[in-house]
Structure 1
């Protein structure tokens, strides 16, 4: 973990990476600059490092600027993957909005990739919301999108085949800029097959079978806790989603041994 001096122009350069509908992206330039001033520091996190544990005390808000973070909650005696936070999204906002008493983290958060987060104290975050009405709108947009995504996932568990649910999960993590650059969607994420299974509501064996089929068809490459999507267009098709808006600009995946 490292603290870094803040530089507003540098933060503005990260906007294209921010998830559509995220808190950070929905703020305007002036509000982002104000929040950077209030935050005071950033934190760099290595892949696999825990940002906070369920049951620990703390009320700082973390805004994901770069990388992906997995959020885990308890289901009985098991810690299951609940969600993945993308660039621009919030972590810990529920604890920050709680007034009075000791705040206890309800979930655990662990970096899937190398990450950088903006650290905001709960007092500064609440003050920012109270002084900037558009910030409340940005918060409502992110929370509303999260709720809709959760509802869609639950509905999909009953109505959609497991391969479609898995494709939608992977598509949600694709970086459009990286797809344009290299023609594939590299997802070097510390996600086990058990993580994926709990995320989409199926068994680990089912996820293993689907990935095996996709590997055979050249759609993905897999390694230890990592997945690389080789054909984003096909993955969107399996997910039942509209094609990539930039598909015509995406070069064909490179084949080993060919130049």
Structure 2
């Protein structure tokens, strides 16, 4: 019987979707379901946790403190795991994970139970490895974006990243795309910390992209609409190749 991982269109960000129906049933039997409101802290940096969280719906962000300022590390969406490093290594979390959507539904499992499940389910172990590899590749891409020469190019690179299918962008009938993922509710400060810029710099970069007619919207990240995805990718690719605009 083929597993979900045999599907070449699989979303490697979504751990849950890579599990077999039997594996999903096993986790449902072992876990409990919880609902969290916006701004709820699921995991606190440096604080040991005894549970692994599987997001079923909703969004959260992972941040860390550097130079007394919060730095956005990643988004967590449906199907993703939170707190898995503690289950595998016993170390305290290296990030704080906070709910960003209006509501987040999650399945909670004791870390020992989740680790035991992985030992017994080879497909699930492979799915976890694929998800972690995806996260490493995403981190490498974002690290490259931070080295782009101008703020507009850095923001363009981030928007291109958020357009990836794994991030569930909204595709409109006129060919435009809305980012970031629906319900993530990121602030301009969040976007700035993700690419190493201040909120004021992001505001200016958004204005520059609108002047070039690459985006439109009121300036709030959840309302940014990419008017010409191909031109935006070309603009970001020029920065990646060392070109200036």
- Alignment partners' CA distance in 2, 1:170 and 1:207: 16
Q: Distance in 2 between matches of 1:26 and 1:46?
A: 27
1:60 aligns with 2:60: no
- Shift of the alpha carbon at 1:214? 4.4
The structural deviation recorded for 1:66 is: 1.0
Secondary structure in 2 matching 1:130: helix
Distance 1:140 1:93 in 2: 11
1:136 to 115, 125, 144: 125
SS in 2 for 1:104: coil
Question: Please, which of 186, 192, 195 is the counterpart of residue 187 of structure 2?
Answer: 192
* CA distance, structure 2, for counterparts of residue 43 and residue 170 of structure 1: 27
- Give how far 1:159 is off: 4.4
Report how far residue 46 of structure 1 moved: 1.5
Mark the runs of 5 or more structure 2 residues left unpaired by the alignment: 1-9, 236-245
Mapped to 2, the partners of 1:81 and 1:65 lie a distance apart of 22
Q: Distance in 2 between matches of 1:55 and 1:25?
A: 29
- Structure 1 contact 71–110 (Cα < 8 Å) conserved: yes
Checking the alignment, whether the CA contact within 8 Å between 2:64 and 2:96 is kept in structure 1 is yes
Aligned length: 217
Displacement of 1:121: 0.8
SS, match of residue 146 in structure 2 = helix
Instruction: Please give the TM-score of this superposition, normalised by the length of structure 2.
Output: 0.76
Query: Match of 2:108, SS?
Result: strand
Cα distance in 1 for partners of 2:142, 2:173 equals 30
TM-score by length of 1: 0.72
Matched, 1:36 2:31: no
